[in-house]
């Protein structure tokens, strides 16, 4: 498909009446925090032909916007005229969806008051009304955020709409009692991790492992290597990956910073580089550092260049999350940490959590192949000790590399965006995609703008 066709599909998908701003918020309950993503009415979808099936996506966090966008782009490439609607983010709009209401502006910590709960309920009523006015919708694709999406799945199932979950709810980690609800409110769960298909299948939930979008596109390792030569010189080189959510950053970055300072006192030639997700995050990191004695010598910052930092470093200190798989993709050794509120964990979270491991590489391997300090409560001493053990042991570093290559091999040969689109179009009763030459999707992606190409690989 040529670029003009792609652009035309996106323009058709983004037309609509501009709406006013809402002051509503949604929340997603997890053991440690509650995220409140603001949402704003963006546009009203163009009326679709009743003879053509439509698809509805609902996503409430930036990560959901990322996951949905690549699938929407693939569906739009295959079916340029099929209406695709969304409660979602800007990447979903650029991928070709008609965004009814923009969601996931922020992620803040705190228990919502009654006003936010009422606002969330109001959003559900708006969605219910919209769904009743759009009988052409055949498939609802909720993306992650089960607490926000489960009530919407109930609404869409009531209207006879089939539900395909994109990103499995992490019931294997906590909240297994929600399985009964999931069985009632899904027709298929698309799993990003290889162990999930079997886990859900044994519990009566239809599930399919599709791979992870992070592994859909290969890295330009030569290009990253050349750019890495321009970063700070020294040895050892340590990557510092503090996460992206405000709560994660606030709890974990001072810990990582103090561990780096402690290590540099022992290894004066050591250098580090922080991978900040945005310019706003970078400014916050400097502010926190200034409250803790200032920014240390030998520590650089790169914004939006996690893969470059991973290519450059010998090993990394990393806050638990999807970024651990970015490091695994390059077989980069690491120590994984996640600092939480000790009182809240002991009172509530430990009674809810059922998984043996927390870090994704260990979950996928079903054994501890990476040191994980989760949950973590105290100062930097234990984290610094784990890093010292890696610095002093080439054998441990190499063992991690071998184990990381073994888990990333489980994603080999899969394209998550293609397999997700296959399942969704089948549920919608759309024709199979035409036979494509090898790397066809990557060829189309190469024709997009830099911003659109970044969306495709997010």
Q: What is the pLDDT of residues 298-323, one digit of tens each?
A: 999 999 999 999 999 999 999 999 99
pLDDT for 214 beyond 50: yes
Whole-angstrom distance, CA of residue 41 vs CA of residue 56? 16
- For residue 59 the two structure tokens come to 């996503």
pLDDT at 246: 85
Distance separating alpha carbons of residues 32 and 44, to the nearest angstrom: 35
Does residue 245 or residue 229 have the better pLDDT? 229
Q: What percent of the chain has a predicted confidence (pLDDT) above 90?
A: 67
pLDDT at 39: 38
Q: Per mean pLDDT, which range of 43-57, 299-313, 321-335, 408-422 is the poorest?
A: 43-57
Q: Which residue has the higher pLDDT, 439 or 318?
A: 318
Q: Of 205, 171, 183, 168, nearest to 30 (Cα)?
A: 171
The whole-angstrom distance between residue 88's C-alpha and the CA centroid of its chain comes to 14
Whole-number pLDDT of residue 447: 38
Write the pLDDT tens digit of every residue in 401-414.
999 999 999 999 99
Using the predicted structure, report yes or no on whether residue 330 has a pLDDT greater than 70: yes
Angle, CA of 24, 25 and 29, to the nearest 5°: 155
Q: Distances from the Cα of 96 to the Cαs of 81, 82, 185, in angstroms? A: 10, 10, 26
433 pLDDT tier (thresholds 50, 70, 90): low
> What's the confidence (pLDDT) of residue 113?
57
Q: Which of the given ranges, 43-57, 115-129, 278-292, 428-442, has the highest pLDDT on average?
A: 278-292
Q: With bands split at pLDDT 50, 70 and 90, how would you rate the model's confidence at 292?
A: confident
Is residue 284 exposed (0-12), middle (13-18) or buried (19+ Cβ within 10 Å)?
Answer: middle
With 70 as the cut, is the pLDDT of residue 83 above it?
A: yes
- Give dist(CA 453, CA 458) in Å, integer: 9
Contacts of 380 (CB under 8 A, 6+ apart): 255, 256, 258, 259, 262
pLDDT band with cut points at 50, 70 and 90 for residue 354: confident
Backbone phi and psi for residue 319, each to the nearest 5 degrees, phi listed first? -80, 135
Burial (CB < 10 A; 0-12, 13-18, 19+), residue 17, is: exposed
Q: What is the dihedral of CA 298, 300, 306, 311, to 10 degrees?
A: -40
Summarize the confidence of residues 420-442 as an average pLDDT. Answer: 72
Please state which of the ranges 14-18, 54-58, 67-71, 346-350 shows the lowest mean pLDDT. 14-18
Residue 5 CA to its chain's centroid (Å): 29
Query: Domains of the chain by range and CATH?
Result: 3-216+415-450 (3.40.50.2000), 221-410 (3.40.50.2000)
Q: What is the pLDDT of residue 37?
A: 38
- Please provide the average confidence, as pLDDT, over all residues in the chain: 83
pLDDT confidence bin for 105, thresholds 50/70/90: low
Can you give the pTM of this predicted structure? 0.79
In 362-442, DSSP assigns E strands to 372-376
CB 6 within 8 A of CB 77: yes
Predicted confidence (pLDDT) per residue in 384-399, tens digit: 999 999 999 999 999 9
pLDDT above 70 coverage of the chain, percent: 80
> Length of the chain, please?
458
CB 41 within 8 A of CB 123: no
**Residue 247 in tokens:** 């709560």
pLDDT of 381 > 60? The answer is yes
Tens-place pLDDT, residues 152-170: 999 999 999 999 999 999 9
């Amino acid at each position: 498909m040529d670029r003009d066709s792609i652009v035309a599909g996106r323009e058709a998908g983004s037309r609509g009446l501009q709406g006013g701003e809402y002051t509503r918020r949604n929340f997603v309950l997890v053991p440690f925090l509650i995220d409140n993503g603001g949402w704003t009415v963006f546009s009203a979808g163009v009326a679709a032909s009743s003879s053509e099936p439509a698809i509805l996506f609902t996503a409430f966090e930036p990560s959901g916007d990322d996951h949905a966008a690549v699938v929407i782009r693939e569906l739009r490439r295959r079916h340029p005229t099929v209406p695709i609607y969304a409660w979602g983010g800007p990447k979903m709009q650029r991928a070709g969806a008609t965004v009814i209401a923009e969601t996931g502006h922020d992620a803040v910590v705190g228990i919502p008051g009654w006003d936010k709960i009422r606002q969330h309920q109001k959003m559900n009523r708006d969605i219910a009304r919209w769904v009743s006015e759009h009988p052409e919708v055949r498939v609802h694709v909720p993306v992650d955020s089960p607490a926000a999406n489960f009530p919407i799945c109930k609404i869409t199932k009531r209207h006879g709409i089939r539900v395909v979950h994109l990103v499995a709810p992490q019931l294997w980690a906590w909240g297994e009692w929600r399985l009964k609800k999931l069985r009632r409110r899904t027709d298929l769960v698309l799993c990003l991790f290889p162990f999930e298909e079997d886990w859900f299948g044994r519990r009566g939930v239809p599930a399919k492992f599709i791979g992870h979008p992070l592994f859909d596109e290969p890295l330009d390792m030569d290009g990253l290597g050349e750019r890495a030569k321009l970063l700070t010189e020294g040895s050892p080189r340590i990557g510092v990956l503090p996460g992206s959510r405000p709560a994660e950053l606030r709890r974990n970055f001072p810990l990582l910073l103090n561990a780096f300072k402690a290590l540099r006192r022992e290894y004066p030639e050591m250098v580090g580089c922080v991978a900040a997700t945005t310019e706003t995050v970078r400014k916050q990191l400097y502010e926190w550092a200034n409250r803790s004695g200032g920014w240390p010598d030998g520590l650089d910052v790169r914004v939006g260049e996690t893969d470059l930092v991973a290519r450059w470093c010998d090993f990394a200190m990393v806050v638990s999350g999807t970024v651990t798989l970015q490091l695994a993709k390059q077989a980069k050794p690491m120590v994984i940490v996640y600092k939480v509120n000790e009182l809240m964990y002991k009172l509530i979270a430990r009674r809810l959590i059922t998984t043996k491991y927390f870090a994704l590489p260990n979950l996928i391997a079903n054994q501890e192949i990476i040191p994980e300090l989760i949950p973590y409560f105290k100062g930097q001493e234990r984290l610094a000790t784990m890093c010292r053990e890696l610095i002093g042991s080439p054998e441990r570093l190499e063992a991690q590399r071998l184990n990381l290559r073994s888990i990333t091999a489980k994603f080999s040969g899969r394209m998550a965006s293609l397999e997700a689109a296959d399942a969704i179009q089948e549920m919608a009763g759309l024709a199979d995609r035409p036979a494509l030459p090898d790397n066809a999707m990557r060829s189309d992606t190469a024709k997009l703008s830099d911003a659109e190409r970044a969306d495709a690989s997010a």
